[in-house]
Structure 1
Amino acid sequence: MEVTLQLKDGQQVVEKYGNGRFLISDHYHEGSVLIRSEETVPWTVTKFKDLTVESLQPFVDMADQIEVLLIGCGSKSEFIPPKFREELRGKGLVIDAMDTGAACRTYNVLLSENRTVAAALIAVE
């Protein structure tokens, strides 16, 4: 049985992370990023404590196109306060938080399953 990730051409795939950057589909991105299958853009959040609804606005604006938003919290998983989680849910976003490495791997797997996934990834050293 084949277990290799099956991805469509042009999809944004996380290949490496660390040293304050990401290798995504053969291109390095310095610092934190927002990623979905079609594009990767820089993200100004560098610490979990700086995460706000406003910092996730690009995904809020397209919430109807995202099944799940993964939050890569940095080097360790963080607890998303219920009020913050509910505020995002009220805007149409379902989130799942984990350390950045786990978020990268989960993003790739969900993408290979043709799920409409997005990720906000805080860069790690």
Structure 2
Amino acid sequence: MDLLPRIPTDRQSINAYGDGGFRITGKHWTESVLVFPGQTMPWGLADIAALTAQSLEPVFTMDPAVELLLIGCGPSMVFINKALRAEIRARGLIIEALDTGAACRTYNLLMGEGRRVAAALIPV
């Protein structure tokens, strides 16, 4: 019996992370990325300290809407300040800050369950 759900082949899955990049659905990325169920795109944020609601605009406008955004903060988890968290929540998005490795693993698990999840990932 498989313990992890299988991700449909038409969905983005994070195959590997580390060494300053990611392999997502077989493609190598050497920059921060936003991973959605149907696509991956570059994300211009290199330092979690620069996170703003504006830097997450592609997530807010995604169709279908994302219900949960996992933020991979880099090598260690960073707390997102209350004001920014409240601003993001007011726009209908729940965020969870994790270290990048945990965000990658959690994204794959939730994607396999069919959740409307996305990941904003800073490389380690």
Deviations 1:90-116 (A, max 9, x none): 111110000000000000000000001
Do the aligned partners of 2:4 and 2:112 also contact (CA within 8 Å) in 1? no
Partner of 1:113: 113
Mapped contact 2:71–2:98 kept (Cα < 8 A): yes
Structure 2: runs of 5+ lacking an equivalent:
none
Amino acid at match of 1:69: L
Instruction: State how far apart, in whole Å, the 2-side matches of 1:109 and 1:4 are.
Output: 7
Deviation, structure 1 residue 64: 6.4
Unaligned runs of 5+ in 1: none
Residues 38-65 of structure 1: CA deviation (Å, up to 9, x unaligned): 0000011111101111110001123861
1:81 partnered with 2:89: no
Q: Distance in 1 between matches of 2:63 and 2:89?
A: 9
Verify the 8 A CA contact 2:6 2:112 in the aligned structure 1: yes
Moved more, 56-65 or 66-75: 56-65
TM-score (norm 2): 0.95
Separation of aligned partners in 2, 1:96 and 1:4:
21
C-alpha RMSD over aligned residues = 1.3
1:61 aligned partner = 61
- Structure 2 distance, partners of 1:5, 1:19, is 27
Structure 1-normalised TM-score?
Answer: 0.94
The verdict on how the C-alpha distance between 1:85 and 1:98 changes in structure 2, with shifts beyond 3 A counting, is same
- Aligned pairs for 1:21-100 (under 5 A) are 21-62=21-62, 65-100=65-100
Q: Which amino acid aligns with 1:23?
A: R
